Structure formats: structure tokens, C-alpha cells
Structure 1
Amino acid sequence: MVFLRALLIAICAATATVSASPTTYATLPIVTLDRGKFIGTAADGVNKFLGVPFAKPPSVVDVKSVSVGDLRFRLPQALGPFSATHNATAFGLSCPQQATTLAIPNGLPQETVDYLTSGSGTTILDGEDCLTLNIFAPAHARSGSRLPVVVWIYGGGFEVGSSALYDGGVIVNRSMALKEPVVYVSINYRKIDASLAFGFLASQEVKDAGVGNLGLHDQRMALRWIQKYIHEFGGDCSKVTIWGQSAGSISVSFQMLANGGNTEGLFRAAFMQSGSPTPIGDINYGQQYYDYLVERTGCSCSSNTLACLRATPYKKLKAAVDSTPSIFTYQSLALAWMPRVDGVFLVDEPQKLIQQGKVARIPFVAGECDDEGTSFSLSQLNVTTDAQLRAYLSEFLLPGRHLRVRHMTRVPKMLFTPQFKRIASILGDFTFQAPRRFFLNNLSTKQNTWSFLSKRLKSLPILGSVHGSDYTTSTRKLLTLLDSQVKNITITQDTYRTDGMDFITELFLTLPL
């Protein structure tokens, strides 16, 4: 799973500003932005510029206007003109991550265990100064080449993930082999974790301050940076496609719903893998988690709890966040931290915006894996009866799910029962399949749309075509669906599980998450 590898593998390093003699970088690619020079690296016909800042760090201190830490939980701020010389030869720090662990239950075949644990043993290096992006371009690209641009937004449940996990050089080399060269850009954005990098804090206090969905605002800021500077790397700012997987794919869909569907010329097409507009509700639905952080950090007595959280020491707030439910705990896909309707970036529930036609009129692709829910239902193996299943669904997907924070640990020594597959089907359809079908059904007659269903790894025991299996991760690199290994492509009707998905659609139209 791509987002699982985001927990397990990364080699990241901070970007530094340097001064050096011209001869030091004589053989390396150099791009001038404003009055600044960025020194990249070159390998296998691809120029790479890594860890390039696109916004002010959330921890920056501007003595003229703000106090220490005052940029915490605030909208991203644009950078001034670049100056000096910058080393862009290593990935920047990843935005801080929520502590998440996937417990491997007993009874899994070794083949499945190997798949889930491949790449384990290293960790993501994260930090406060994380609002950076990376540019991969053909070595022959120059200002004025006007190549199409693909912008990658990584997944990870809005809890984990990093642009450093993906080698854009693979994509660029593949595009050149197809004689359709592109410039690839990957971006970081704030997720939930860490006092200086909250991306999806949600509550009435957050709504009143106008600082909801910061991670989505970060993505938008990165897209504006691309419009301003990508031509210097050989890209065409009028030919930008945004592309994501899982939470990154959901992010892509929300970028299509922002601003009444007006793209502001920031992108012209979209590609979504395992994620469409999630049926989310008002930002107040996250109040219980906000209140939990306030209590755990000792901010309950403060007259301004948001200001108190801004001033809370990093380690203290991180410990509070790490104790909240994550994507691999019992609560699973009823995410504690995710985008919500804030009245600013998302002015209404996504499904209502789609029905109102307030969506970008651009061509897009949206597809899923055949067994999206299996990896997430490993966290509920203690649900073994129909009554327990009904109780679980009532608590987390139906009325009453917003009543309390629950962080239940499942029992690992448990045999797989029929309820495992039932939960997997429900979670997969509720979060991925049904929202995609709703999205396409409402838009396919109004704009060019395409869809796919990936059955790669269908024979993987227990998990099947698990979430993220439309990638290969054996080399920790991205491969496109156009790879020569893809075989047996067929055209069919998108009508599987019609009755169940129709019921789920009616359910989330009435009861958003």
C-alpha cells in the first residue's frame, strides 16, 4: 500500500541555502528564479530540483508583524522574491506525521505479510519547515520548452505521507520513452500532526478563525507557485494536470470543488487513483477531537483555546495527537483528521456541490482498486458477529459516531471470520467506490470523464487488489498504468454492486462523515 510505505520508508534531508564558487556546480543544472539560483542534480537524462520552498515555513517568525509561533494554524503565506544561491539537491523535510502502526494479525499467509511489511525499517524525517516541492524535468528542457506538467499529491489518510517517497524521474523517463515528455512536480502539504504543521484541525474555533483545511490551502499555494515559476524548468503553466492517490486523490477532487469550480487557471485536467469527493460534513463534526487536544494539552481553562494550542510546546501537542485514532486503529476510515466543510475552501458538502454543478469543468480520470477496504478492516478482527457489526457501523458510520473519541485496540490473535470481508466491502464502497460512482454519474454527461478498476494483485491472499495495489512498490518508485506490464484491459459497465452502492449513496447524502 502506498500510504503504508509512507509510514515505513523515506530518505529525506533538509534543504539549505549555500554560497559556493561557480566552478563547484559547473556540471549541475541551475535555474534562476527572481534573483536566486537553484542548484539541482542530474541523472539518467533527468534534472532534479528538490526541496524548493513554495511558502513561508509555518514556524517562521516575522518580527514586524507576528510573534513567535503565530503562523501556527494559519493559512500559508507566499514567499517574497528569491535571492542568493540555494542547494536543491536533496528532498526537504516531510511535514510532521501522526504516529501510526499497522499491527499484523496472526493467520495471514506469509505472502501477504511480506507485502504489508516490505520496505520497513526506516522512518520519515519530518520537521516544521516542510512546505516545499520537487521538480523533475527532462535534461533537455529549457525555459520556453512548454512541456505539459503533472503535479503529484501523495496520499496517507491526511495523517502521514511525503513527496520524498516518490521518484519523479521514473515518470519523466517513461514520458520521454513515450515521446510525450512532461515535467513532474511533487508537493508537500500539512497533515494533522505537530504543533507547527496542523493541516486539518476542525472545530467551531477553527471555523471562526477561518483556518480550516490548511492542507488544501497549502496545495493551492503550491499550484500558484507552479504557475509563476514552472516555465523556468521547461514546463507550460497552461498545461497542468493534478494527480493523486488515496488522500491525494481526494485532495485533487476537492481542488476541483474549490472556488465554485473555478480553477483560476491553476490546472486543466485531473487524475484520481482511489479517492473521489468524500461525503464529509461541517467542520464542527471534528469538535470532539479538537476538545480532546485542548484537554490533553492543558488548554481547557484558556479563554482562547486556539491561541493556547499555538503556544503549546511541540512535544506536548504531538503526544496528544498521537493518542487520537489513526487510520489503522479500530475507528479506521471514519477519520479523526480530514478535510471538512469550513465555509471557505469547501463552502458546502461535496456531494451537494457536485449536484449544484459547482465543480471544475475539466477532463478527469477517477478509478479504484477492486478490494479497497481489505487493509483497513484488519483493525476490526474482533468484530465476529452480525450484532457486533451493526454496533460498529452504528458507532462510526451512522448517527452517534461523533459522540466521543475512541481508541480501541483490536485483538491480534483472532481468526478471520466472514465479518472481515463484510466490513472490508462496506468500508471500501463507502469511502471509495460509491463516491467515485456518484461523482462520475453526475458529471459524465457534462464533461469528458474516464474510469478504471484495477485488479492487480487480485490473487494476494486475504487482501486481494488492496488499496494502493495499482502501483508497484518493489523498487519504491512510481509506475504509470501505461506500463507494459499492464495486461488484459477490458471495457465493461460500471454497474457492479449497484443496489448496495445506491443505498450507501443515499446514506451519505443524508449523513455525511
Structure 2
Amino acid sequence: MATTTFFQLLGFAAHVFVGALPTKPDGPIVRTRYGAVQGMYAEEGAIFLGLPFGVPPVGELRWKPPRAYNTSWAPGVRDGTVPGPACRQPGCGPTDSDYQHVCNRDKARTQSEDCLYLNVFVPRSVLNSTIRLPVMCFFHGGSYRHGTASAILYDGRILANKTSTIVVTTNYRVGAFGFLVTGEGEGDARGNYGTLDQIEALKWVQQNIADFGGDKDKVTIFGQSSGSDSVAVLLTSDRAAHLFHQGIMLSVPFSISHKTKFEAVRFGTDFVKLANCSTGDMKCLRSKSADEILHAQDEVESYIANPFHLLQRFMQWGPTVDGDVLPRQTLDSFAKGKFQRKPFIIGTVSQEAFLYIYQAFSNPVSKVELYEAALAFLRGKGPAVLHEYNPPQASDYRPFLSHAVTDWVFECPTRNAIRDAVTSGEDDVWLYVFDHVWSFKTFWHDFTYCQGRVCHSEDVPFVFQTPLLMNLSFTPDEQVLADAMVYHYGNFAHTGDPNKSSLYVYTTDNIVKSALNWPRYNKGNQFPNMNFTTPRSIMVHDYNKDKCDFWDKEDIYSGID
């Protein structure tokens, strides 16, 4: 790998950054179509925070599709060292605990409806002054209700430097602000605004990333949890087809169905009542303060739009199946071959559902309660599932339930989606499972039941390697694991193949010794699954076959119809 000295970085800055504008010693300056923006140097490269990609969606623009940012800030130089506000959401206030560093990085943890901002991370290591770098654009998780691109957890500087890519992290409207549906009339809120924000951010990348040294024709989108669900949505939406070239999906909760128009309107009607407005009165809704909207959002969380789709209770907000932005349930799109033929990597962590089950059930679950839950969520399929999993005698069935729900919601529908993709002719796909319990226990401070388990989101700190920015450290084995993941994802961003080595992706002797060949997922390769773990990752074949064969046979994904 070719690395540069600081003086070589300045040489690169002369090409990628401003040219004629005087560069201040405390940060690089980039000339954009909107004017010059000054970022900051970091050991790993350069960082530009709080770049607007959309007109503030406030006032009459609340619950309207995003409009592209089009205002010049010249002749002044924009301050790119300050993050934009997080989108309005519950929690993450200045006094709230943030052990996982998922709140906005500024001291005040600023939130606002004016939140359509993104961040750009430029690596220290560069190819040369003429070749553009691939782009990796990240969508954060948070159940479409929480999250911000400017969380320290998602800081892209280390990932950018080790992959020699331009990393972009972006906000999008969440909760009621991003996904409320009140009806189908001309003035109604139609939903999917958060998804349209993501699409607008990708348009910004197409139009502006070259100013930062990026290649608009080599864009990888990736995300985790609802952020990875967003990637799946964009892979099945014609609206985004021309804006990216491949994807990485970390922990898609495929079996939590997206609301239909009927379900979304019914849920939105309840929300409107709780906001003390009349159905169809958008003027009343837009007159409400953001705090009043959040209060109604909190109140409606316990409502059930469809008793036959109880899993939606775990992700009340999100894209609606509208036949346009989201044409159908994502699993249905994969099954019907109605998705973009683009390379993708997809996977899960080994104990995804423990976090959700223990949040839902604060006390031990009895066998009677287990059977009640199975019948409530699975109805006529409940007895078959209980027979397949054959619950043993126990004083608390939460661990048992967590294992079964991990299979149902995450692992097996993920296998189902990738197999459907292969059947439809997309050969460039790879499957993984992350199976390592992290050593930095402070992350699970408020969630003691995840201590010693591989809970939902445990792979994220390894992708971004951001514990190093939080005065935490990886064990030597964890550092090898993190670098091996970056090696594969970086190769994928550069070449479309996690195995096809790029000279510019970070590597060490440990990675050379530990990085496995990761075969494409297909029957001829015996359905390989990369098991990211310590002390060394291993390759397994037909992972969790018996249980996933069962779920495929019962066909209980994306709700029960």
C-alpha cells in the first residue's frame, strides 16, 4: 500500500482542495459549487462536517419531499468543522447518557428539523493526483426513529483512511417527520420523506463528490439495521437506480414488514388525533412545534396498525409500500427478481434478537407466556414453530425466544434474500455472520443482558474502528478482526469483489495471514458464509441450514397474510 507523508498530503490538497484560495494552516479548503468550505485535518486525513444537501424541511416544507440545496455561501468560507444538527428525535439531549456514542457529537447535541446535512471524510492515503477514489455512503440505524450521521460511532476517518475511499455519512428525517402518512389527498403527508432524503443525499454525491476527490461512478452504499433496510429499499427502488453501484447490508430486519398504505394511514390517523388535530388538517399539524410532534410520536408508539403484523411494533416508522419509492415488500422484490442487478454483501450478527427480546420483556418469560407470544405473533404457524424449536424446560424462556427470533427476523430471511438474488442471476453476492463478543463492556452499560453476547449492532464499531476515538482499545485479536473486515469491504468498494485486492486498501502481515478467500454465495460453492470472529475468521458452509430451511418452507417472512 502506498502511503503519503503530510507534505505529500499538501500536494494532494493542491489538486483536490482549493487551488487559488489561501489554505489556512488549521484546515484544508475545498472549492465547491456553493463556495469554499474549510474542514479540519486529522491524523487519518481530512474531515468536512455539516455540508447541506437539502433545503431545510421546515414550515410549509415539513412533510414535503426534499429540495436540493441551491444557495451559495460565497464569498465567505463555510466552516466545515461543526456538525449539522441531528434530525429531531426522542432522547440524545445534552444530559442523556450516550454510552455507545450514537448522539450528535457537539456538546449541546443539537437537534433541529433543519437537519439535511452530511459529512465527508477524505483519507490521508491517496492514489495520486489524477485518479478519483471510490465512495462509501453510510446510512445510520436507529429503527427509523433515532440516529445521526454525526455520531462519533459513525465517524468515517479511520474507515476512509484504511480503505482509501471517500466516506460520506448522511442524515435523513426520522420518525413522524420522515415517514408520517395521513392520507392520499393532494395536501396529505404521503410518507417516505426520509427515504427521499437519502436519495437526495446520493444526488449530492453524484454532483459534488468530485470536489473532494471522489469518483461518482464508483459509489457503494452501506448501512446497519434500519440503515441496511434502507439499502435494501434503494436496491428495489427505481428512484435510486442511477445513484449507486453496489451495496453492503449489515443486519436487515427483513421480517419486520413495511406498512402498507392502509396500515400507514391508519397509524397516521391515530398520530393526528394525539397531536390534537383533525384528519386532513395539515395546517394544524404544521402549526405544531417539533416538541409537540415528538410527544404525539411517543404516544402513538404503542398503537397497533394491524394486529396481523405485530412485529411492526418494533419498527413503527419507516418506508411505506407506496408502489413508487417502495414498490413492494423488499423480500417480495428479491423473490420476484425486481431488484437492481448490483453486487452486494449482506449479513447478520449471531445473536441479533437478544437486544429486542430483553427490551420487550423486562422480566423472565414463562412457558405459558412463550406459547402466548408464539400464537400472537405467528398465529396459525405458531404450533409448527414451537414443534420445530422444541423448547426445553427452563425458568426463563427469553434466551430461547431470542434465538428463534434471530432466525426468523434476521438470519433466515437474509439467506432467503441472497438465494433469491442468485436465482435471479445476480452472481456477485457474499454472505457473512459476525460472531465476536466485544471486549469494551462500557458500550452495553444500560443493557446488561447483552454483556457476553453478540447483540444487534456489535459489528458496527469494527467496521468504523471508532472505539479508538473514544479512548477505548481493541484487543490484538479484535484489531486483526477489524482490519480484516475493512480489508474485504475496502476491496469491495474498489473492485466490486471483497477478495480482489486493491493496492490502496490497508493491509498488514496479520491480514495477509488471516484474510480468507470469501467465495461468492451459490450452490456450486456450497453456500459459503464468512464467519467474522476471533482469533481468526473461518468459512462455514450452509450456515444454520436446518432452521432456515424450516422458515423458508413455512414462508412466514414479512408478516403473515
Q: TM-score, normalised by structure 1?
A: 0.76
Are the aligned partners of 1:326 and 1:335 in contact in 2 as well (CA < 8 Å)? no
Amino acid at match of 1:79: Y
Q: Which residue of 1 aligns with 2:327?
A: 347
Between Structure 1 and Structure 2, the one with more helix by share is: 2
Looking at structure 1, the residues matched to 185 and 138 of structure 2 have their Cα atoms a distance apart, in angstroms, of: 28
Consecutive unaligned residues in structure 2, runs of 5 or more: 1-20, 304-309, 381-393, 442-447, 475-481, 488-510, 512-532
Matches within 5 A, 1:91-490: 91-99=83-91, 117=99, 124-139=109-124, 144-165=130-151, 166-175=154-163, 181-193=164-176, 198-205=177-184, 209=188, 211-259=190-238, 263-275=240-252, 277-278=254-255, 279-300=257-278, 304-325=280-301, 334-378=314-358, 379-382=360-363, 384-395=365-376, 417-445=395-423, 446-447=425-426, 448-457=428-437, 462-463=449-450, 464-472=453-461, 474-475=467-468, 481-482=485-486, 487-490=535-538
SS at match of 1:323: helix
Aligned partner (choices 495, 503, 507) of residue 556 of structure 2: 507
Amino acid at match of 2:245: R
Are the aligned partners of 1:33 and 1:82 in contact in 2 as well (CA < 8 Å)? no
SS at match of 1:51: strand
SS at match of 1:240: strand
SS at match of 1:358: coil
1:160-211 Cα offsets, whole Å, 9 max, x none, are 1111112211112222xxxxx1111111011105xxxx11223544898473
SS at match of 1:444: helix
Q: 1:285 to 1:371 in 2, by over 3 A?
A: same
Looking at structure 2, the residues matched to 49 and 168 of structure 1 have their Cα atoms a distance apart, in angstroms, of: 11
Are the aligned partners of 1:143 and 1:235 in contact in 2 as well (CA < 8 Å)? no
1:17-76 Cα offsets, whole Å, 9 max, x none, are xxxxx76835521112225111111121411111000111111xxxxxxxxx11111111
Q: 1:325 to 1:427 in 2, by over 3 A?
A: farther
SS at match of 1:184: strand
Q: Is 1:39 aligned with 2:87?
A: no
Superposed CA RMSD in Å reads: 3.4
Q: 1:465 to 1:217 in 2, by over 3 A?
A: same
Looking at structure 2, the residues matched to 443 and 344 of structure 1 have their Cα atoms a distance apart, in angstroms, of: 21
Looking at structure 2, the residues matched to 332 and 346 of structure 1 have their Cα atoms a distance apart, in angstroms, of: 17
Looking at structure 2, the residues matched to 231 and 25 of structure 1 have their Cα atoms a distance apart, in angstroms, of: 22
1:128 CA displacement:
1.4
1:462 CA displacement:
4.8
Are the aligned partners of 2:335 and 2:417 in contact in 1 as well (CA < 8 Å)? no
Q: 1:503 to 1:28 in 2, by over 3 A?
A: closer
- Structure with larger RCO (C-alpha < 8 A, sep 6+): 1
Looking at structure 2, the residues matched to 147 and 453 of structure 1 have their Cα atoms a distance apart, in angstroms, of: 28
Are the aligned partners of 1:34 and 1:82 in contact in 2 as well (CA < 8 Å)? yes
Looking at structure 2, the residues matched to 72 and 118 of structure 1 have their Cα atoms a distance apart, in angstroms, of: 30
Amino acid at match of 1:150: M
Looking at structure 1, the residues matched to 354 and 559 of structure 2 have their Cα atoms a distance apart, in angstroms, of: 26
Q: 1:204 to 1:93 in 2, by over 3 A?
A: same
Looking at structure 1, the residues matched to 159 and 193 of structure 2 have their Cα atoms a distance apart, in angstroms, of: 28
1:477-505 Cα offsets, whole Å, 9 max, x none, are 79562476954221112341534664376
Q: 1:254 to 1:51 in 2, by over 3 A?
A: same
SS at match of 1:70: helix
1:252 CA displacement:
0.7
Q: Work out the number of aligned pairs and report it.
A: 438
Q: Which residue of 2 aligns with 1:18?
A: none
SS at match of 1:50: strand
Looking at structure 2, the residues matched to 163 and 184 of structure 1 have their Cα atoms a distance apart, in angstroms, of: 11
Looking at structure 1, the residues matched to 37 and 99 of structure 2 have their Cα atoms a distance apart, in angstroms, of: 37
Looking at structure 2, the residues matched to 143 and 98 of structure 1 have their Cα atoms a distance apart, in angstroms, of: 44
Q: 1:470 to 1:27 in 2, by over 3 A?
A: closer
Looking at structure 1, the residues matched to 185 and 419 of structure 2 have their Cα atoms a distance apart, in angstroms, of: 34
SS at match of 1:151: strand
1:348-405 Cα offsets, whole Å, 9 max, x none, are 2222221221111111100110000001111214462333233334445659xxxxxx
Looking at structure 1, the residues matched to 438 and 417 of structure 2 have their Cα atoms a distance apart, in angstroms, of: 25
